[in-house]
Structure 1
Amino acid sequence: MNEEQRLSRVERRKRELEHESTEDNIHDEQIEEGRTGEVTSPTSRDEDVSSDHPFLNQSNSEQRSKSTDRQKQTDRHKQSVRAPKPKWTLPLGKKRRRKREDGHSEPRAKESKNRESRREAAPPREKPVKEKRKRRGWKGKFLLLLLLFFIVVGYLASNPFTFLVMGSDARVGESVSGSRTDSLQLIEFVPRSRTVQNVSIPRDTYTAIPCEPDREGDKITHAFAYGGASCTVGAVEGLTEASVDGQVVITFETFMELIDTVGGVNVTATHSFSEKGFNQTYEYTEGVSYSMDGDMALAYARHRKSDTDGARSSRQTEVMTAVADKLASPSGWTKIPATYRFMKNEMGLEMNPLQMASVGLTMLLKPDVNKMQVEGQDAYINNVYYYQPTETSVQAIRDALDLTMWGTVR
């Protein structure tokens, strides 16, 4: 084989290779033209001309191969930009990749939809449980605070409470100012021992009067006429050595209105007598229970013709105890606010809610009432009648009122 034949064979082989690469490029360009709609005729013309040329330079062929490689790289780059690979794909073949994408995309989409539908259909469990727990926790805290509140109130309300009832002799339509106390009742409530100490002080009791410093003593009924309720409280505290915590002033008119406000009271007569009221004359028989309105209760409490001043004070205590029992009963609970407002506005009541709770708690426990009276003897000083209390009686009352919160003597 000579030199020319060998060269021609090499040239033919080169031409075949170049022809194959040209066909590949043309095929790729046709695919690209089908996507973009662009025509690449100049390139194909040049390649056709080069393919028809009888002799090709080796450098030209190398440049063409490089250009084709660059063209392929750009095409691959465009394809990669247009169709980004999923993050989870592996370097697999095109066919296997397509199968994997086609085979798993739909089931995964269905699974995601099913999960979303299940989440929507399923009731939210965690939030209601948390809300219930929060509500239960809030209710528990509220009940605990409420329990502590009642414990504190019960403790404070269980302390002894001393109350002075002043009955003015002012008639209906008369002013309380300048009147005298027709009766005095000092009441000590001791809830923890279920005890009520009731001390009756006769109106003519001779004792020192704070608002009469120039006199050694006077009738205790005059204290209200000279200095009002404050002077009377001072006189009672000096006589009994007890600290008065609350007070109220009752007249004939307010007494009747108080009984009518609570809806009447039930009182069992401890003495037989007749007494004229504002509406009619009433007959009372010892041992008989009466349902009394304001007028009938006032006639019962103010009678003193057929017995002593001490017996009248006892009847007044019976009526006031009946009022307390009525308010302490379930049927009288609804009348407590109206009764309290009336006594506050019309009777000068001085009693805070804790003291009222102390009274109510004591009456609910059905206490033992210890009735006492200042004992004494008749005396005339400067030809004026007085009721002179004995030291023994006064000291016994002082000891009885000097109690601890448990009802024991100090």
Structure 2
Amino acid sequence: MKDDQRLSRVERRKRELEQQEIEASRLNHEQSTDERQNINEVSEPDRHQERTTSQSEHPFLNEKSSEASKSTEGTSKNRRKRMPRMLSFSKPKRKTSRPKSNHAAQQSRPSNPSKPSKGEVDQSAKPATKRKRKWKGKVALLLILMLLVGGYVATSPFTFLIMGSDARVGESLSGSRTDSLQLMEFVPRSRTVQNVSIPRDTYTAIPCEPDRDGDKITHAFAYGGATCTVGAVEGLTDASVDGQVVITFESFMELIDLIGGVNVTATHSFSEKGFNQTYEYTEGVSYAMDGDMALAYARHRKSDTDGARSNRQTEVMTAVAEKLASPSGWTKIPATYRFMKEEMGLEMNVLQMASVGLTMISNPDVNKMQIEGQDAYINNVYYYEPLEESVQSIRDALDLSMWGTVR
């Protein structure tokens, strides 16, 4: 009998659950299509839980099911009333107002994690742009500073010493003497060139001959090369030599041929034998000279003085500078500079070359000077003894500011 009662109670519980399901399904049909789908998704686990609960209340599975069934009889009516309320309470919001889930947010993110989003790109681009602008500003400031320094150096006076060796073609420079010495000061801002000719037999102190009071300045190159000669010239003129070059007969001819010859107007009438032929020069006539003809013109000294020969050498070197400064000679400047550097021992940087070029293309006033002196014999050896007044006037003329005025 007890078993029949228990079974009847179970049947009644099943009917109650079925009635609740019927009522829940009726309420679901009354809602909209979207809401009904959401309610079904939520209520399905609830129904599964209720079924699990009912199974757990089965008398054969749980000995306390009889007591639970008694308590549920009294509250079955209340449960019927509360069930719709529970369903309506768990009713989700509409899709339009429902926030995105974490899964949806993850799907909205870019698939490539290494690629930054637009906001991140904007934020990272701003500091990079600022750094780039600062870097460009520093480079521009540095360029302006370099131009100012370069312009200042290029327009400063530049003193250059030309040493003409008497070494013949094929002979070594070692032991040779300086056949001519030209000290040139270029002043770009005043468009002037100071050209001082130093006779080869000038008696002066020689740095590489400390045991002697003096000697011919031409011997300085034989005893100590270009360094000793520069020291002797600086001691004589009180000038600071900034650059130098050593010219031989052979390198002189090659230099003239390299730039395509020079145009020189003769300042004296004479004839001179070159390596190829004998040349005739007439005063006032302009000649297109190649290397051999220009050398014969520059080294002649039989019919006039040593100072006149020095002037002719200056005329040829000025013609070389004018040729390089002309538009047709611009393309020859790199090759000329390289040749003079390798074959003539040229010591001159780019800014110093600019100083010379700026001066020569401005049609400068050339102030030609020569150390004046008198013949003298010391221990039966001929010397050209310079006059103190002439030496002092040359020192004053070379002591110029960057504007070409005497300091």
Structure 2: tracts of 5 or more residues without a match: 1-17, 30-35, 55-70, 99-124
Give the CA deviation at 1:291. 1.9
Query: What are the residue-to-residue correspondences of 1:199-238 with 2, within 5 Å?
Result: 199-238=196-235
Give the CA deviation at 1:162. 1.1
Other-structure match for 2:3: none
Give the CA deviation at 1:194. 1.4
Determine whether 1:76 maps to 2:85: no
Q: Which amino acid aligns with 2:152?
A: Y
Query: What are the residue-to-residue correspondences of 1:293-312 with 2, within 5 Å?
Result: 293-312=290-309
Other-structure match for 2:25: 29
Query: What are the residue-to-residue correspondences of 1:2-401 with 2, within 5 Å?
Result: 26-29=22-25, 63-76=75-88, 80=91, 84-86=93-95, 88=97, 142-401=139-398
Q: Which amino acid aligns with 2:200?
A: R
Q: Distance in 2 between matches of 1:65 and 1:330?
A: 116
Distance change in 2, residues 1:387/1:25 (3 Å): closer
Structure 1: tracts of 5 or more residues without a match: 1-21, 44-58, 90-127
Q: Distance in 1 between matches of 2:161 and 2:316?
A: 15
Give the CA deviation at 1:339. 1.6
1:68-120, Cα deviation, whole Å (9 max, x unpaired) = 1233244436x73xx5434648xxxxxxxxxxxxxxxxxxxxxxxxxxxxxxx
Distance change in 2, residues 1:288/1:141 (3 Å): farther
Residue aligned with 2:226, SS: helix
Q: Which amino acid aligns with 2:322?
A: D
Residue aligned with 1:318, SS: helix
Distance change in 2, residues 1:139/1:331 (3 Å): farther
- TM-score calculated relative to the size of structure 1: 0.72
Distance change in 2, residues 1:279/1:154 (3 Å): same
Q: Distance in 2 between matches of 1:244 and 1:157?
A: 16
Give the CA deviation at 1:161. 1.4
After TM superposition, the structure 1 stretch with the greater mean CA deviation from structure 2, 326-335 or 25-34, is: 25-34
Give the CA deviation at 1:137. 8.5
* Contact 1:25–1:68 (Cα < 8 Å) also in 2: no
Q: Distance in 1 between matches of 2:139 and 2:23?
A: 84
* Contact 2:264–2:286 (Cα < 8 Å) also in 1: yes
Q: Distance in 2 between matches of 1:341 and 1:228?
A: 22
Give the CA deviation at 1:260. 1.9
Other-structure match for 1:404: 401
Q: Distance in 2 between matches of 1:156 and 1:69?
A: 104
Q: Distance in 2 between matches of 1:136 and 1:152?
A: 24
Residue aligned with 1:387, SS: strand
Q: Distance in 1 between matches of 2:135 and 2:358?
A: 30
1:211-237, Cα deviation, whole Å (9 max, x unpaired) = 222322221111111111111112111
* Contact 1:374–1:397 (Cα < 8 Å) also in 2: yes
Q: Distance in 1 between matches of 2:289 and 2:160?
A: 24
What root-mean-square deviation, in Å, do the aligned CA atoms of Structure 1 and Structure 2 show?
3.8
* Contact 2:272–2:296 (Cα < 8 Å) also in 1: yes
Q: Which amino acid aligns with 1:26?
A: I
- TM-score calculated relative to the size of structure 2: 0.72
Residue aligned with 1:393, SS: helix
Distance change in 2, residues 1:381/1:132 (3 Å): same
* Contact 1:194–1:367 (Cα < 8 Å) also in 2: yes
* Contact 2:400–2:406 (Cα < 8 Å) also in 1: yes
1:290-338, Cα deviation, whole Å (9 max, x unpaired) = 2222111111111111211111100101111111222222332222222
Q: Distance in 2 between matches of 1:184 and 1:201?
A: 5
Q: Distance in 2 between matches of 1:134 and 1:308?
A: 69
Q: Distance in 2 between matches of 1:76 and 1:280?
A: 126
After TM superposition, the structure 1 stretch with the greater mean CA deviation from structure 2, 130-139 or 366-375, is: 130-139
Question: Number of matched residues?
Answer: 339
Residue aligned with 2:194, SS: strand
1:372-395, Cα deviation, whole Å (9 max, x unpaired) = 011122223333222222122111
